[in-house]
Amino acid sequence: MENFVPPGDCPVCGEHVEEGSASCQSCGSCPQSGWSEDAAYDGLDLPAESFGESEDAVTKGKSTIKRLVLAAALLIGVVILFVLTKP
């Protein structure tokens, strides 16, 4: 990958790099960064974990749904008891 010379397709993102370009317009890889896949995201201060929702966010969403279902069930139960015990 480090021997790439424009013109051609960027070895990192696959976009076409014009002849004489100093870097890929799409991902920013260049001869100084070695046209490496890590160079596209290097220096962005991104967390080590991958993009997308973390496991905590997924678990948090599921627990919120469980709480809402439980609250709705309790409310329906109270309404039914109120209606059935009304003289």
User: Can you give the pLDDT at residue 67?
Assistant: 93
Residue 5 and residue 41 share a domain: yes
Residues 61 and 79 in one domain: yes
pLDDT in tens, 16-62: 888 888 788 877 777 776 665 554 555 556 566 655 656 665 566 77
Residues 31 and 67 in one domain: no
Range of the domain at 40: 1-46
40 and 2 within one domain? yes
Q: What is the pLDDT of residue 73?
A: 98
DSSP code string of the chain: -TT--SSEE-TTT--EE-TT-SS-TTT---TTTTT-GGGGTTTS---SSPSS--HHHHHHHHHHHHHHHHHHHHHHHHHHHHHHT--
The pTM is what? 0.36
- Looking at the fold, whether 56 and 83 belong to one and the same domain comes out as yes
58 in the same domain as 34: no
Indicate whether 42 and 5 sit together in one domain.
yes
